[in-house]
Homo-oligomer: A and B are copies of this chain.
Amino acid sequence: MNGNILKEQKSVGFIGLGNMGHGIASNLLKAGYTTRVYNRTKEKAKDLVEQGAILVNQPSDVIESGGIVFTMLFDDSALREIAEVDENFVKKLHPGGIHVSLSTVSPDTARSLSAHHSQNGVTYLAAPVIGRPDRAAAGTLFILLAGSVEAKQIVSPFLEKISQRVFDFGDLPWSSNMAKLAFNFNIAAAIEAMAESFTLAEKNGIPRAKMAELLSETLFSGVVYKGYGDLIAHHSYQPGGVPLMLGWKDIRLVLQTAADSSTPMPIASLLRDRLLSAISKGRGDLDWSALALGASDDAGLGK
A residues sitting closer than 8 Å to B (CB atoms) are 107, 130, 142, 144, 165, 167, 169-170, 172, 175, 178-179, 182-183, 185-187, 189-190, 192-194, 196-201, 203-206, 210-211, 213-225, 252, 254, 257-259, 261-270, 272-274, 276-277, 279-282, 294-295, 297-301
**Do A276 and B263 contact each other (CB < 8 Å), given the known contacts A221-B221, A269-B270?**
yes
CA distance A286 to B153 in the complex (A): 43
Known A-B contacts A220-B222, A273-B264; A197 and B186 likewise in contact (beta carbons under 8 Å) = yes
A198 to B178, CA, bound (A): 11
**A297: nearest chain-B partner, CB-CB:** B297
Interface SS of chain A: helix
A selection of 26 A-B contacts at a CB cut-off of 8 Å is A142-B214, A167-B210, A167-B214, A170-B206, A178-B206, A179-B201, A179-B211, A179-B214, A182-B197, A183-B211, A185-B196, A185-B197, A185-B200, A186-B220, A189-B189, A190-B190, A193-B193, A200-B257, A203-B261, A220-B224, A221-B222, A264-B273, A264-B295, A264-B298, A269-B272, A277-B299
Which residues of chain B come closer than 8 Å to A204, judged between CB atoms? 107, 175, 178, 257, 261
CA distance A63 to B66 in the complex (A): 58
Please give 14 more A-B residue pairs, beta carbons under 8 A apart, in addition to A199-B263, A222-B225.
A167-B214, A175-B205, A183-B215, A183-B218, A190-B193, A196-B266, A219-B223, A221-B222, A262-B299, A263-B299, A264-B274, A264-B299, A266-B270, A282-B300
Copies in the complex: 4
Most buried by B among A187, A273, A277: A273
Q: In the assembled complex, which residues on chain B have CB atoms less than 8 Å from the CB atom of A297?
A: 297
Which A-B residue pairs are the 10 nearest by beta carbons?
Answer: A280-B300, A189-B193, A269-B269, A264-B273, A182-B197, A221-B222, A203-B261, A220-B222, A262-B280, A264-B298
Contact A169 B258 (CB under 8 A): no
Question: Which of B200, B216, B221, B259 contacts A254, CB < 8 Å?
Answer: B200
- Determine the chain B residues whose CB is within 8 A of the CB of A107 once the complex forms: 204
Chain B residues within 8 Å of A213, by CB: 167
User: Shortest beta-carbon distance, A221 to chain B, in Å?
Assistant: 4
The interface residues of chain B lying within 8 Å CB-to-CB of A269 are 266, 269-270, 272-273
Q: Which residues from chain B contact A276 at a C-beta distance below 8 Å? A: 258-259, 262-264, 298-299
Contacts of A265 in B (CB 8 A): 196-197, 199-200, 273, 295
The verdict on A192 contacting B272 (CB below 8 Å), with A179-B210, A197-B182, A300-B277 known, is no
Chain B residues within 8 Å of A261, by CB? 200, 203-204
List chain B residues, Cβ under 8 A from A186.
Answer: 193-194, 197, 215, 220
